[in-house]
A and B are shown apart, each in its own frame.
Chain A
């Protein structure tokens, strides 16, 4: 049995990559993932990846931020220590608008980005799971799990036909590990 774990098809053009995905899917070869140096629109649809729900997270964090600071201002200036400023009302809603807005934005930004990092497993020092070093430079890489997808030569031919400039049979899943 071959020791190949992953088959990588390296393309140098995003349109050929799309063609490669189509070819594989027409031949019922499941795709593990695709790595590209830039966002290519349309792949997620082909691979059946659902829309990101980060927008909902962002909205919730925004609501939380706005509520937090508005409640803080209410507690501090109206409840706990109302100040007499020329006899004007302590609960001066228009004056609370700027800070409420700022914290809405602050919580949205930090909450959403933290959710993104958490969901995608991005954090400082995480060992990069790189399948091919040029996937962040100038190669558009389709990765296919070799297990169960046989014969490997057929997959190689399919990728080559679709315009892959190079097809790799990797024995290790990630080349970035020492």
Chain B
């Protein structure tokens, strides 16, 4: 029930004074109901220029073929698959926040799930574009689907991880979209009921006629819970299957049984870094400091630290197994990451992902916004290099010394990559303009139990353990959105 008050030693999830249900709506819908500011226009211009670059580079690829990329006969997979795995991995954090944290009843997810899941969808779109452009002949993109055809019905090969991947990514994308949109319905109805004229008409169509009656809410919660329950194994399966694209081959550096958990941990790691990158800016620009608080930032940093360390253990395991296997090709591949011509990529991978992340052990760094933001970018760079090292560095020196080669990206490779980042940010910026970037209904749900003002009232009431109150006040000092002086006199 809404009146249930939470233990005082838990940190508040909503800070600020005089937060009412109406204020939550006003604060969250400010960017939706008003014209965007200068910062948004600058960001949108830069991002859409990037998106134009992407359109141009992908069109160029379709016109002239894959030959316009830097691939050669030794390195047949390079930036495209690197970009694909990178983006799919980034998408995983959104589902983790919206599904797994829901199952674990982590209420702090309520204020970040909406934008994280939007990010998932945009990231998967970016990933899908790499697959389609790598086909070279996108008009044959339906070939991996099990459709009757004119080759005597030669069906797709369900034994192939690449076919599994088609099923996994398409299921993941569509289920995430459904989950996200269902969650959006109540908030779209809020916009609809406050808007007038044409805006009301548009949001009326989008909100499916939502009213918020008791039965609707009851069904809505059932749907969300079951979607969370099925999305949890789904998200784990997606990167598992992505890793099997590599792990089921006989390529040294790829042929590794640890790949599925290693890839899943890496995916969540990079995804949370991207959520951090986006939300630290969003909360500042949109003035959402009271809803995305220091608690959220620190919690995400802790997840980055945990998953980064799991990735670190996976790296160590890989090295140990390469040594222990006694296979000289396997051993060479892993040595080559440090002593080969791509030593710098290996250093970026291990340095950014394992060493830099360990800084998160320090609370001063975890709760420092500029430091968190820089580290989130570092993680994103590191995770891109991880995929580059796994893909290109494993391929470029194969069994035959005569076919050893290097990979040099062309301007098309680079443009598609930079362009996809532009595409991603264009979609994200449009999202925060037209849709509520915080799930209002879900934040309203925790206002009475977990907000700073509710806890303050409890303290003022007395009847609480003095030691616990001191502990609580101590925990508030890290918040940048709490007036700590209010508590000194209390």
- On A, residues with C-beta under 8 Å from B are 12, 14-15, 18, 33-44, 47, 49, 52, 54-55, 58, 62, 72-73, 76-77, 80-81, 83, 85, 92, 95-96, 98-99, 101-103, 105-106, 108-110, 112-113, 116-117, 119-131, 133-138
Q: Are the C-beta atoms of A123 and B209 separated by less than 8 Å?
A: yes
Residue of A nearest to B240 (CB): A98
Given A41-B1, A101-B233, A113-B223: A128 touches B214 (CB 8 Å cut-off)? no
Instruction: Kindly identify which residue among A58, A106, A110, A122 contacts B208, using a CB–CB cutoff of 8 Å.
Output: A122
- Write out the residue numbers on chain A whose beta carbons fall within 8 Å of the beta carbon of B213: 33-35
Q: Are the C-beta atoms of B25 and A99 separated by less than 8 Å?
A: no
Instruction: Kindly identify which residue among A35, A96, A108, A112 contacts B212, using a CB–CB cutoff of 8 Å.
Output: A35
- Write out the residue numbers on chain B whose beta carbons fall within 8 Å of the beta carbon of A119: 219
Interface size on B, residues (CB 8 A): 67
- Write out the residue numbers on chain B whose beta carbons fall within 8 Å of the beta carbon of A108: 226, 230
- Write out the residue numbers on chain B whose beta carbons fall within 8 Å of the beta carbon of A106: 171, 174-175
* Least distance between B201 CB and chain A CB atoms (Å): 10
How far, in whole Å, are A135 and B448 apart by their CA atoms in the complex?
A: 18
Q: Are the C-beta atoms of B214 and A43 separated by less than 8 Å?
A: yes
Q: Are the C-beta atoms of B167 and A103 separated by less than 8 Å?
A: yes
How far, in whole Å, are A43 and B367 apart by their CA atoms in the complex?
A: 40
- Write out the residue numbers on chain B whose beta carbons fall within 8 Å of the beta carbon of A133: 193-194
- Write out the residue numbers on chain B whose beta carbons fall within 8 Å of the beta carbon of A131: 211
Given A85-B159, A112-B226, A137-B190: A105 touches B171 (CB 8 Å cut-off)? yes
* Least distance between B28 CB and chain A CB atoms (Å): 11
How far, in whole Å, are A90 and B234 apart by their CA atoms in the complex?
A: 26
16 contacts between A and B (CB under 8 A): A14-B1, A38-B441, A40-B1, A54-B219, A77-B158, A81-B154, A103-B167, A109-B179, A109-B227, A109-B231, A116-B220, A124-B206, A127-B204, A128-B193, A128-B207, A130-B193
- Write out the residue numbers on chain A whose beta carbons fall within 8 Å of the beta carbon of B312: none
Q: Are the C-beta atoms of A12 and B189 separated by less than 8 Å?
A: no
- Write out the residue numbers on chain B whose beta carbons fall within 8 Å of the beta carbon of A72: 146
* Least distance between B481 CB and chain A CB atoms (Å): 22
- Write out the residue numbers on chain A whose beta carbons fall within 8 Å of the beta carbon of B205: 124-125
How far, in whole Å, are A7 and B213 apart by their CA atoms in the complex?
A: 16
Residue of A nearest to B2 (CB): A14
Rank and list the top 7 A-B pairs by shortest CB-CB distance, nearest first: A126-B209, A138-B21, A76-B155, A138-B22, A122-B208, A14-B2, A39-B217
Q: Are the C-beta atoms of A54 and B223 separated by less than 8 Å?
A: yes
- On B, residues with C-beta under 8 Å from A are 1-3, 20-22, 25, 146, 152-159, 163-164, 167-168, 171, 174-175, 178-179, 182, 185-186, 189-190, 192-194, 204-223, 226-227, 230-231, 233-234, 237, 241, 440-442, 444-445, 448
Q: Are the C-beta atoms of B226 and A54 separated by less than 8 Å?
A: yes
* Least distance between B261 CB and chain A CB atoms (Å): 16
How far, in whole Å, are A49 and B215 apart by their CA atoms in the complex?
A: 7
Instruction: Kindly identify which residue among B175, B186, B206, B219 contacts A37, using a CB–CB cutoff of 8 Å.
Output: B186
* Least distance between B192 CB and chain A CB atoms (Å): 7
**Interface centre among B156, B175, B179, by most A CB within 10 Å?**
B175
Q: Are the C-beta atoms of B21 and A33 separated by less than 8 Å?
A: no
- Write out the residue numbers on chain A whose beta carbons fall within 8 Å of the beta carbon of B209: 121-123, 125-129
Q: Are the C-beta atoms of A136 and B186 separated by less than 8 Å?
A: yes
Given A14-B2, A130-B211: A120 touches B216 (CB 8 Å cut-off)? yes
Given A52-B218, A105-B171, A126-B209: A134 touches B193 (CB 8 Å cut-off)? yes
- Write out the residue numbers on chain B whose beta carbons fall within 8 Å of the beta carbon of A43: 214
Instruction: Kindly identify which residue among A80, A109, A110, A122 contacts B185, using a CB–CB cutoff of 8 Å.
Output: A122
* Least distance between B63 CB and chain A CB atoms (Å): 34
How far, in whole Å, are A163 and B30 apart by their CA atoms in the complex?
A: 30
Q: Are the C-beta atoms of A77 and B157 separated by less than 8 Å?
A: yes
How far, in whole Å, are A38 and B205 apart by their CA atoms in the complex?
A: 21
* Least distance between B353 CB and chain A CB atoms (Å): 27
Q: Are the C-beta atoms of B1 and A81 separated by less than 8 Å?
A: no
How far, in whole Å, are A72 and B147 apart by their CA atoms in the complex?
A: 10
* Least distance between B142 CB and chain A CB atoms (Å): 16
* Least distance between B405 CB and chain A CB atoms (Å): 30
Instruction: Kindly identify which residue among B3, B193, B215 contacts A15, using a CB–CB cutoff of 8 Å.
Output: B3
- Write out the residue numbers on chain B whose beta carbons fall within 8 Å of the beta carbon of A36: 212, 214, 217
